Chain A
Amino acid sequence: MRFSHFVLRRWLYSVLVLFGLSILIFIIARMLPGNPARLALGPFALQEQVEHLQHLMGMDKPLPLQYWTYITGIFRGDFGLSFQTRRNVALDIAHYLPATVELVLIAIVWVLVFGVPLGVLAARYKDSWVDNLVRVMAFIGVAVPPFVVGLFLQLTFSYLLGILPTTGRLSLMTPAPPLRTGLLLLDSLIEGDFSALGDALKHIILPSFAIAMTGIGQIARLTRASMSDIANQDYIEASRGFGIPNRVIAFKYMLKPASIAPLTILGLTFASELSNAFLVETVFAWPGLAKYGIRAILRKDFNAVMGVVLIIGLAFVIVNLIVDILAGYVDPRVRIKQEEGE
């Protein structure tokens, strides 16, 4: 089958998995011991008020019906009401999502800018002090919990050195640019508001780097392993034999096949970044989806929890899809094998 068919099939399957996920979380959320309606209204609410809310939320209906109502609601854009904000969870998500998206995107930039070159460097000077240094750094990057990284960065740059702000996306004094995408960096750029842009940048550096640490470590190690594995391949030897200079071999003939492995774990890197976001947003009081999600979990706001889970699941699916397409583009073997039939 053709490559595009392959991608389509994968996508459909992922949607199926998402459904499975929604069922799983739904069951778990409804399994709550204790009464979410009561939790929302507080211990002083009257019993009949609690029951009224329960009825309103449809909690007295049988479970499968509840699920059905919920799912059909999703397709209409109705994610149910959040206990906390009393409005459609979809609106909440739309409000908080861009902050997290911005954070994760910048983090990916860090990962590519630091991870790949470090890996290449380590492979080039294999077994030398450069290699060992990079390996140690990568180990540290993977081993430190992201909230620890965040705290340490805060400690160093905000408290000790005082050059970067501690929390939030913008300083209190700086007015936000008009809302277009929700991505502050983009919005301020569009508006031409460079002071806001600078301020937003200063705020985003530390948290995004904290998120990126694990990814940098992973990508650096994988790039190094991939590069040194490729370096031993016959075709690289052949290129040397044909007189192609080392620089060309390194940056063209080794980098391209070597980039396949890191590309495939880009999906995993994204996953780790999302996880890390949950921890880092708390440290930096970043008003993003993660913070919203955690509040929802602690307060048993299950509509919100479902909404966040589904969005993250969807984001994951999209990213994996992009990675698949990119992999097919870089490595013709994938494309060709698909086209020849599985």
Chain B
Amino acid sequence: MSTRASHHQVTMGLNETRWMIIKDRLGRGWYKFRRNPISLVGGVMVLLCVLLAILAPYVTPYPKHAGAFTDFQNAFQAPSKSHWLGTDALGSDVFTRIIFGSRISLMLAAVVLGISVPVGVFLGLISGYMGGKTETVIMRVTDVFLSLPALVMALAICAAFTPSIDKAMLAVASIWWTWHCRLVNGITRSIKTEEFVQASKVLGASPLRIIFKDILPNCASPVIVKITLDAGFVILVGAGLSFLGLGAQPPAEDLGTMISFGAKYLPERWWMTVFPSLAIFFIILGFNLLGDGLRDVLAVEEGV
């Protein structure tokens, strides 16, 4: 920290200094983010995808084509002026379907992460802080869930149910909490012994207070980076499940399902596969770039 901050510390008092430190941190962060073209590109890409998905009914040329719709007359049309990316086997406009499909993919990510992150972080904090039997039990359960690669595990869980998008979401969420639990557990364990935590203890702070005031802020950066990177990965797994027939089902197809159906018509009717593929690649790439950029900005180590 530069001497400027310490000098101000003496003359201006603690609260103002904290604000200055945050400003400095953000300034540095923004400086790094700006200089890093990769993270900027990622940020823009993600923003674009999210906006398009939210505004789907307003930006697509044929919003009615999403969902159950058939027009066999117009099926299998190559890309043209009226249908920029062509039409599929049922006559729906591919472009429209892609936008709506990406909506489903993004929603999947949001739901999965929305469930698994709080659960995982919570369990991680508890197990890390309390140690002993609680920690052992929680960590062992984590190990069992992590004993298979994510997709395989999700597949196995999906095996119990009729294929549908919500079951797929459930399956992925039930695995995903483990990553965050492990991450937060590790951080909590290493911070637990640090002096400022001991100090809080001595001052008589309740465990809850310690967890939320001292330990949680330290987990914030790695968890945020992980969430961004996870989004891409969750979408990947979701698309994989859909591709195999276990995720989104027609007519509410997501990109994976579209690709799977389109693959039957390769290579002559290539547009039905190629464009959804590009779309999903775009989304995942955007999240990955953003996550990587954030990692640099928030100064988290590789391997998260």
The answer on a CB contact under 8 Å between A275 and B240 is yes
Q: Which of A29, A151, A294, A296 contacts B160 (CB 8 A)?
A: A29
Please choose the segment from B3-11, B148-156, B188-196 that sits at the chain A interface, where 4 or more of its residues have CB less than 8 A away. B148-156
User: For the complex, what is the distance from the CA of A298 to the CA of B158, rounded to whole Å?
Assistant: 9
- Which residues of B approach A to under 8 Å, CB–CB? 38, 140-141, 143-145, 147-152, 155-163, 232, 236, 239-240, 243-246, 256, 259-260, 263, 266-267, 270, 273-274, 277, 280-281, 284-285, 288-289, 292, 302-303
B276 to chain A, nearest CB (A): 9
Please choose the segment from A134-142, A172-180, A181-189 that sits at the chain B interface, where 4 or more of its residues have CB less than 8 A away. A134-142
Task: List 8 contacting pairs A-B, 8 Å CB cutoff, sorted by A.
Answer: A17-B144, A21-B148, A24-B144, A139-B289, A279-B243, A296-B159, A298-B245, A298-B246
The answer on a CB contact under 8 Å between A297 and B148 is no
The answer on a CB contact under 8 Å between A278 and B277 is no
The answer on a CB contact under 8 Å between A275 and B159 is no
The answer on a CB contact under 8 Å between A278 and B160 is no
Hey, which chain A residues are within 8 Å of B267, CB to CB? 155, 159-160
Hey, which chain B residues are within 8 Å of A25, CB to CB? 156
The answer on a CB contact under 8 Å between A142 and B288 is yes
Known interface pairs A139-B38, A148-B280, A283-B263; 8 further A-B residue pairs with C-beta atoms within 8 A, sorted by A's residue number: A18-B147, A21-B148, A28-B159, A29-B160, A151-B277, A271-B150, A272-B149, A298-B246
Can you name the residue of chain A whose Cβ is closest to the Cβ of B140? A20
For residue A168, CB closer than 8 A to chain B, the reply is no
The answer on a CB contact under 8 Å between B159 and A21 is no
Asked, given contacts A17-B147, A139-B288, A279-B240, whether A144 binds B281 with beta carbons under 8 Å apart, the answer is yes
For residue A70, CB closer than 8 A to chain B, the reply is no
Q: Which of B143, B155, B256, B274 contacts A297 (CB 8 A)?
A: B155
- Which residues of A approach B to under 8 Å, CB–CB? 14, 17-18, 20-21, 24-25, 28-29, 31-34, 135, 139-140, 142-148, 151-152, 154-155, 159-160, 221-222, 225, 261, 265, 271-272, 274-275, 278-279, 282-283, 293-294, 296-298, 300, 302, 305, 309, 312-313, 316-317
Asked, given contacts A28-B160, A294-B244, whether A275 binds B273 with beta carbons under 8 Å apart, the answer is no
User: For the complex, what is the distance from the CA of A222 to the CA of B292, rounded to whole Å?
Assistant: 13
Can you name the residue of chain B whose Cβ is closest to the Cβ of A32? B160
User: For the complex, what is the distance from the CA of A302 to the CA of B156, rounded to whole Å?
Assistant: 10
Hey, which chain B residues are within 8 Å of A302, CB to CB? 159
A20 to chain B, nearest CB (A): 4
Q: Which of B149, B161, B163, B281 contacts A274 (CB 8 A)?
A: B149
The answer on a CB contact under 8 Å between B159 and A297 is yes
User: For the complex, what is the distance from the CA of A116 to the CA of B126, rounded to whole Å?
Assistant: 39
Asked, given contacts A139-B289, A151-B259, whether A294 binds B155 with beta carbons under 8 Å apart, the answer is yes
Hey, which chain B residues are within 8 Å of A145, CB to CB? 236, 239-240, 243, 256, 277, 280-281, 284
User: For the complex, what is the distance from the CA of A221 to the CA of B304, rounded to whole Å?
Assistant: 13
Asked, given contacts A222-B302, A275-B150, whether A143 binds B232 with beta carbons under 8 Å apart, the answer is yes
User: For the complex, what is the distance from the CA of A302 to the CA of B256, rounded to whole Å?
Assistant: 25
The answer on a CB contact under 8 Å between B280 and A151 is no
